Amino acid sequence: MKIKSSQTLVSEALQDIKTISTDEAYTMSTEDQCNLIDIRDIRELEKEGRVEKSNHIPRGMLEFWLDPDSPYFKEGKLDMNKEMVLFCAGGLRSALAAKTLKEMGFEKVSHIDGGFAALRQSKFKII
């Protein structure tokens, strides 16, 4: 049995999804065109801080919180018609998560190149 490496999975995901810069994400966020979703673990947020006006949805719950048929669906938490802009610490988990959301049927999905590390160096306010 040949197992795909996590690196291969991320590489494949990056070919299928839209990757945006922190500047693009900032513009979309300030113009209220997207849901900015932090998929990092809660411990990462507590240690590193979080992006102002971002929504925290842990990676392990993403599919369940965004599935209207799931008992875990977070009604009204996000605007389901806006683009889902995901980020994690560095961009690997968010690439995989964005691909999964596309597979679920979300058409407007992207992830931020460089993740939270890049966001810290951008116009976004970290709180």
CA-to-CA distance for 38 and 121, rounded, in angstroms? 16
Query: What Cα–Cα distance (Å) separates residue 41 from each residue in 34, 48, 49, 57, 61?
Result: 21, 11, 11, 8, 10
Domain residues of the chain, as ranges?
Answer: 18-120
Q: Map 22-63 to HEC letters.
A: HHHHHHHHHCCCEEEEECCCHHHHHHHCCECCCEECCHHHHH
Q: Tens digit of pLDDT for each residue in 63-102?
A: 999 999 999 999 888 999 999 999 999 999 999 999 999 9
- CB atoms near residue 40 (< 10 Å): 23
> What fold is seen in the domain 18-120?
Oxidized Rhodanese; domain 1 (3.40.250)
The confidence band for 1, taking pLDDT boundaries of 50, 70 and 90, is confident
Output DSSP code: residue 126: B
